[in-house]
Chain A
Amino acid sequence: AQSVTQLDSHVSVSEGTPVLLRCNYSSSYSPSLFWYVQHPNKGLQLLLKYTSAATLVKGINGFEAEFKKSETSFHLTKPSAHMSDAAEYFCVVSVKAAGNKLTFGGGTRVLVKP
């Protein structure tokens, strides 16, 4: 079985400062890892994905994440937060052996202060 732990339920940053959202995963098989963003009352948008290629993954809107197998982590970062980044972010793991169903972390709500 696989699981995902997002270490912070809420993160507050000032506009223009870096953002770090932490994610640790557990999986018996080689995982695919994703970050999704959900704006209030909206659907889910894929930010980026890791699927056993390069360990540093660049996504949309300036976000990137690094897969670290030794630490079982897939933290999401952005050098400079923008007001539009205020949303909820989900770290997600998928394993082919589990039928590729997605396992979501509990989410991290990001607040961006002006």
Chain B
Amino acid sequence: NAGVMQNPRHLVRRRGQEARLRCSPMKGHSHVYWYRQLPEEGLKFMVYLQKENIIDESGMPKERFSAEFPKEGPSILRIQQVVRGDSAAYFCASSPNTGTGEYYGYTFGSGTRLTVV
């Protein structure tokens, strides 16, 4: 079990370029959450996805940011036309699909550190 895999670990982009961050959840997990950590701050929720569905995107900036979790392949967080303020660590977490009210485990990836120059 390889855990939650995020790549790349570090990403440098010039202002105006696009950034694509990938997250492969743990085997058997079909829920993916993306969080952003700005320097010296805690993590902030961005978006919650299940396979082929966006469940909650209340934390996503209205422009330039998008996320998907296709039927096959990793979840992608896409940032278009990056600006310096997008520099942050982006973490992905996954949890198993369960319909009960029991505990939902969260496993985090090691994050992608985006630097916009």
**A and B interact:** yes
Q: Which of A's residues lie within 8 Å of B, judged by CB?
A: 32, 34, 36, 41-46, 49, 51, 90, 94, 96, 99-107
A100 touches B104 (CB 8 A): yes
Q: How many A-B contacts at CB < 8 Å in the complex?
A: 54
A102 touches B111 (CB 8 A): no
Q: How far is the CB of B22 from chain A (nearest CB, A)?
A: 15
From A45, A46, A99, A105, give the contact of B42 (CB < 8 A).
A105
- B103 to A, closest residue via Cβ: A51
- Residue-wise interface mask of B (90-104) relative to A, using a CB-CB cutoff of 8 A (1 in contact, 0 not): 010101000001111
A107 touches B111 (CB 8 A): no
B-side contacts of A44, CB under 8 Å: 43, 91, 108
Most buried by B among A34, A43, A46, A90: A43
B109 touches A43 (CB 8 A): yes
From B31, B106, B109, B110, give the contact of A46 (CB < 8 A).
B106
From B42, B48, B55, B111, give the contact of A43 (CB < 8 A).
B111
Asked if B56 CB lies within 8 Å of chain A CBs, one says yes
From A43, A104, A106, give the contact of B110 (CB < 8 A).
A43
Q: List 15 A-B contacts (CB under 8 A).
A: A36-B108, A41-B113, A42-B110, A43-B108, A44-B43, A44-B91, A44-B108, A94-B104, A94-B106, A99-B48, A101-B56, A102-B93, A102-B106, A104-B42, A107-B42
